[in-house]
């Protein structure tokens, strides 16, 4: 079975600084996709960034980027120039075939 592990229940970052959220996953598949979703206090889940496993280049979306280490099965999210609006729960997720898994989430606090 595939699992997704987020070992940091809570993280905090100073506004304008950089923070990295960790995620590891376990799969025996060679073809899969990885995602980071953001869930602000409004509860609305929003896609932050996605990574195709077959791509070696790390995905980037503005201030958000990932460090995808396929051999280590690691998929961390880096948020640069953190803003107050980045405060939320962040979920790492994987999708392969008919299987969908979410991590337990990391609560990010942004300190003004």
Binding site for other proteins (CB under 8 A): 32-33, 35, 37, 42-47, 50, 52, 91, 95, 97-98, 100-105
Q: Name the residue nearer to other proteins (CB basis): 104 or 109.
A: 104
Q: Name the residue nearer to other proteins (CB basis): 14 or 60.
A: 60
Q: Name the residue nearer to other proteins (CB basis): 28 or 98.
A: 98
CB of 69 to other proteins, least distance (A): 19
- Interior CA angle at 78 toward 74 and 82, to 5°? 160
CB of 36 to other proteins, least distance (A): 10
CB of 83 to other proteins, least distance (A): 22
Rounded Cα–Cα distance for residues 88 and 36 (Å): 12
DSSP H or E stretch at residue 91: strand 88-96
Rg (CA), the chain: 13
Q: Name the residue nearer to other proteins (CB basis): 76 or 90.
A: 90
Q: How far apart, in Å, do the first and last CA atoms of the chain sit?
A: 41
- Least Cα distance to 52 among 21, 82, 91, 96 occurs for 96
């Amino acid at each position: 079975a595939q699992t997704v592990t987020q070992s940091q229940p809570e993280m905090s970052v100073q506004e304008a600084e950089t923070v990295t959220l960790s995620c590891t996953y376990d799969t025996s598949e060679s073809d899969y996709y990885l995602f980071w979703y953001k869930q602000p206090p409004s509860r609305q889940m929003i896609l932050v960034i996605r990574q195709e496993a077959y791509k070696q280049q790390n995905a980037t979306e503005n201030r958000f980027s990932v460090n995808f280490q396929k051999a280590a099965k690691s998929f961390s999210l880096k948020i640069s120039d953190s803003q107050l609006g980045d405060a939320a729960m962040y979920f790492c997720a994987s999708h392969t075939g008919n299987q969908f898994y979410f991590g337990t989430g990391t609560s990010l606090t942004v300190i003004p």
